[in-house]
Amino acid sequence: KAGVTQTPRYLIKTRGQQVTLSCSPISGHRSVSWYQQTPGQGLQFLFEYFSETQRNKGNFPGRFSGRQFSNSRSEMNVSTLELGDSALYLCASSWVNGDTQYFGPGTRLTVL
């Protein structure tokens, strides 16, 4: 069974730009969660989607948004990028709530 895939793997943007990251979950998984990982703050939850609905959101500004499509693929968008948004963005999928989350390889975003 194919794992979670994320594209692109690496991105370099400048301040003020916006970026869209994509995540394809494991086949059959309907829950997709997003996390930001930085050396200073560690792993922080961004949001979770299930059946195209955002069910949970972490403590991030409104510049961070996401969506999920009917095939469970998910995208997250960051607008008006700031230097502090430089991070590894990880997507994880699971079959149902409380099931083990399986993580993708991540997208490394660098904001200059």
Partner 1 sequence: ELKVEQNPLFLSMQEGKNYTIYCNYSTTSDRLYWYRQDPGKSLESLFVLLSNGAVKQEGRLMASLDTKARLSTLHITAAVHDLSATYFCAVDMTTDSWGKLQFGAGTQVVVTP
# of chain residues touching partner 1 (CB under 8 A): 25
Residues found in the chain: 112
Instruction: Quote the CA–CA distance of 98 and 100 in Å, as a whole number.
Output: 7
Q: Is 9 in the site for partner 1 (CB under 8 A)?
A: no
Q: How many CA atoms lie within 13 A of 99 on its CB side?
A: 15
Q: How far is the CB of 16 from partner 1 (least distance, A)?
A: 28
Q: Is 98 in the site for partner 1 (CB under 8 A)?
A: yes
Q: Is 101 in the site for partner 1 (CB under 8 A)?
A: yes
* Whether the bond into 61 is cis, omega within 30 of 0: no
Q: Is 97 in the site for partner 1 (CB under 8 A)?
A: yes
Give the residue, chosen from 11, 24, 25, 50, that forms a contact with partner 1 under the rule CB under 8 A. 50
Paired with 76 in beta bridges are 21, 66
Q: How many CA atoms lie within 13 A of 71 on its CB side?
A: 7
Give the residue, chosen from 23, 32, 81, 109, that forms a contact with partner 1 under the rule CB under 8 A. 32
The residues of the shown chain that bind partner 1, judged by CB under 8 A, are: 31-33, 35, 42-43, 45, 48-50, 55-56, 58, 90, 92, 94, 97-98, 100-106
